[in-house]
Structure 1
Amino acid sequence: MSVAVISENFAGMRAQAEGLLHRLGVEPDFHTILLKGMWRHLPTRFCPDPLKAAAPIQLAPDTQWLLSIGGRGGAIGAALRRKTGLKLVQVQNPRMGFDQFDLIIANHHDDISGPNVISIRTALHNVTSDRLASARAEWAARLQRAGRPLLCVMLGGSNGRFRLGHEEGRLIGQSLAQMVRQQNIALAVTPSRRTDRQALAALTSELEGLDVYIWGDEGDDPYLGMLALADMVAVTTDSVSMISEAVATKAPVQIIPLPGRSRRISTFVEGLTRLDRVRPFTPDWRPWDVSPLDDTEIAVEEVRKRLLG
């Protein structure tokens, strides 16, 4: 079975597609949206013919159904559904008529409802217990320090709503250095593709001379190993995807604030805070009891029921 994924080329969108489809036992066939002319700057849902506003999308002959992600993905996906008659699953609020989709997988913070809408608390992802167990065995020797609990820090980046620049990196680095010195913890830090190099350099400078692990884009990516081994995770507030992946583990999760504002992300974090699954970041080492929170399986079962029978 081939499933065509229609989305922009963002890591978070690809991760959501992979999370859903891998759990269904399907490999995603990615088709990146490349808009033309003025439609690069305008909402695609207003375009009278979205397929003419984007570079051609050639579906594989064995494509069984479509998966669209985000507003632009939804507009292109809906046009392909009309053209091909294939069923279409949309991830995130499409901001257009819900009747153009067979199933919409939204988050609680999207605040939408309908007969073809299912609402989950976290973003789709592929952080499963099996993958965490494998990563734990692979990374234990490199990340763990005997007798010291492990804090793993996941850095996002500036995204138009939040800012993570040199000064923010320096302040985060100072807090982490204080924790390492005063709380006798082990520390591992990984940037994302959006992390500003100057922000990472400023953070690294504050940690100079301390026994910490900081990934610098070389060698194996430690991200999954960090999630698997962490006694606590700290994530910057800009990324719904990284927070969702962190709360799928057995570790308590702290949210590192950044300058800026997003109503949707704030609502998302507030929901997890009410569940006591996340708490604000503090330099004190105060873990609390949590259970893994993973709503991707809810979405998987709905796709099986509604599309695959």
Structure 2
Amino acid sequence: MIKISSQRALIFSDARAGHENQSKAFCELNGYDYEICHVSYSHKIFKILSYLLDFLGIRAKIFITNDMKFHDFDVFVGAGSSTYYAIKFYAKKYSKKSVAIMLPKGYRKNFDLIIANSHDHPIPRHNQLVLPVSISNCKPSGFYTAGRKSIGFVIGGSNQSFEMNDEILNQIKKIRAEFNKYEFVLTTSPRTPKNIESALQELDWAYSVIFSKEQVNPIGDFLSQCEWVFISIDSVSMISEAVANGTANIGIIDLKRKNSKNKFDQFINALIATGHARKWGEAKNKKSLKKTAKYDLKELIKGIKI
């Protein structure tokens, strides 16, 4: 069994909220105190060089970080390719433990612990814990309080696998018609197309966040208070968060595909097969939408130690 006994963690952050939040969740679920250290490369050539140096087992400070008392921490944690080499550098320099959140592709897998996702098809390793969803710890933030039974919508945007067009508006309107006695709440994301945001603003909402105008995150409130939360299919992190936090049932809204198969297929199909999510398009109406289960991430990582 992989076990971690450290109490104080330093999170290396590449400033991407999704990556940083996974690292925070790992620390919070394990009860660690933590601080955050931002890491970056002054030029992309140095990041490319980090792969070669790591392969050769050479540790050199070719990256930029905050000035921290690194020796004060027990474990170094990070998610995202910009963080992995820095984690190894400081772990070796100060004889501390190293944790990589997400599969560190391109780097040697000699961390003390790797938290990988099953949809990345990781090769089994003694130092690796494979989870069915991305790690998260989403809590209510107090932005939204339900006035009556409610339905939430969490809308992402286009990416390398999906295109968000006007069809999502039709799907949202159909869902709203099925749940016509409920109040509706909405949040968009940084990737939501502006024309979709504009169209959504024309609908009546009990509460809404248009991310291009207001950078707050009410998803924890939605998950704890809504009966159903419907999420666009384009974000593994948002869907992972939804199926492992709160009490809301989770529905997936499909988008136009850019390719016949992509990394989301196995992920979504596994959630549906285990009853942790439903696809809205596969339900004729709200009566055919079966309730969904929740993953207990605290239980899944219970007892892990280095």
- Please indicate, yes or no, whether the TM-score normalized by the shorter chain is above 0.5: yes
Question: Would the alpha carbon gap of residues 229 and 26 (structure 1) be closer, same or farther in structure 2, given more than 3 Å must change?
Answer: same
Question: Would the alpha carbon gap of residues 296 and 35 (structure 1) be closer, same or farther in structure 2, given more than 3 Å must change?
Answer: farther
CA contact (8 A) 1:121 1:295 kept: no
Counterpart for residue 21 of structure 2: 15
Counterpart for residue 234 of structure 1: 230
Give deviations 1:146-191, integer Å, cap 9, x for gaps.
xxx4221112233444343xxx2x3222322233235413211111
CA contact (8 A) 1:5 1:68 kept: yes
CA contact (8 A) 2:161 2:262 kept: no
Counterpart for residue 151 of structure 1: 151
Question: Would the alpha carbon gap of residues 20 and 269 (structure 1) be closer, same or farther in structure 2, given more than 3 Å must change?
Answer: same
Instruction: Give the residue type in structure 2 aligned to 1:291.
Output: A
Give deviations 1:52-82, integer Å, cap 9, x for gaps.
4321453324212101212332222122222
TM-score, length of structure 1 as denominator length: 0.80
Q: Give the alignment of 1:262-273 within 5 angstroms.
A: 263-273=262-272
- Could you say what secondary structure the match of 1:89 adopts? strand
Q: Give the alignment of 1:29-68 within 5 angstroms.
A: 29-39=35-45, 42=48, 44-47=50-53, 51-60=60-69, 61-68=71-78
Distance in 2 between residues matched to 1:65 and 1:73, nearest whole Å: 14
CA contact (8 A) 2:40 2:82 kept: no
Instruction: Give the residue type in structure 1 aligned to 2:41.
Output: L
Counterpart for residue 276 of structure 2: 277
Runs of at least 5 residues in structure 1 that lack an aligned partner in the other structure: none
CA shift at 1:50, angstroms?
6.9
Instruction: Give the residue type in structure 2 aligned to 1:214.
Output: S
TM-score, length of structure 2 as denominator length: 0.81
Instruction: Give the residue type in structure 1 aligned to 2:248.
Output: A
Moved more, 32-41 or 79-88: 32-41
Distance in 1 between residues matched to 2:46 and 2:226, nearest whole Å: 40
Counterpart for residue 85 of structure 2: 75
Confirm whether residue 216 of structure 1 aligns to residue 210 of structure 2.
yes
- Could you say what secondary structure the match of 1:9 adopts? coil
Distance in 1 between residues matched to 2:59 and 2:82, nearest whole Å: 9
Question: Would the alpha carbon gap of residues 118 and 41 (structure 1) be closer, same or farther in structure 2, given more than 3 Å must change?
Answer: closer
CA contact (8 A) 2:186 2:205 kept: no
Question: Would the alpha carbon gap of residues 255 and 51 (structure 1) be closer, same or farther in structure 2, given more than 3 Å must change?
Answer: farther
CA contact (8 A) 1:8 1:72 kept: yes
CA shift at 1:228, angstroms?
0.6
Distance in 2 between residues matched to 1:197 and 1:214, nearest whole Å: 15
CA shift at 1:90, angstroms?
1.0
Instruction: Give the residue type in structure 2 aligned to 1:195.
Output: T
Confirm whether residue 116 of structure 1 aligns to residue 127 of structure 2.
yes
Q: Give the alignment of 1:105-254 within 5 angstroms.
A: 105-112=115-122, 113-127=124-138, 131=139, 139-140=144-145, 143-145=146-148, 149-164=149-164, 168=165, 170-184=166-180, 185-205=182-202, 207=203, 210-217=204-211, 218=214, 221-248=217-244, 249-254=246-251
Distance in 2 between residues matched to 1:40 and 1:270, nearest whole Å: 38
More helix by share: 1
Question: Would the alpha carbon gap of residues 223 and 21 (structure 1) be closer, same or farther in structure 2, given more than 3 Å must change?
Answer: same
CA contact (8 A) 1:236 1:256 kept: yes
CA shift at 1:285, angstroms?
2.1
CA shift at 1:41, angstroms?
7.3
Provide the alpha-carbon RMSD of the alignment: 2.8
CA shift at 1:47, angstroms?
4.5
Counterpart for residue 258 of structure 2: 260
Runs of at least 5 residues in structure 2 that lack an aligned partner in the other structure: 1-6
Q: 1:90 aligns with which of 100, 105, 109?
A: 100
Moved more, 102-111 or 188-197: 188-197
CA shift at 1:51, angstroms?
4.7
Counterpart for residue 34 of structure 2: 28
Q: Equivalent pairs: percent with the same residue?
A: 22
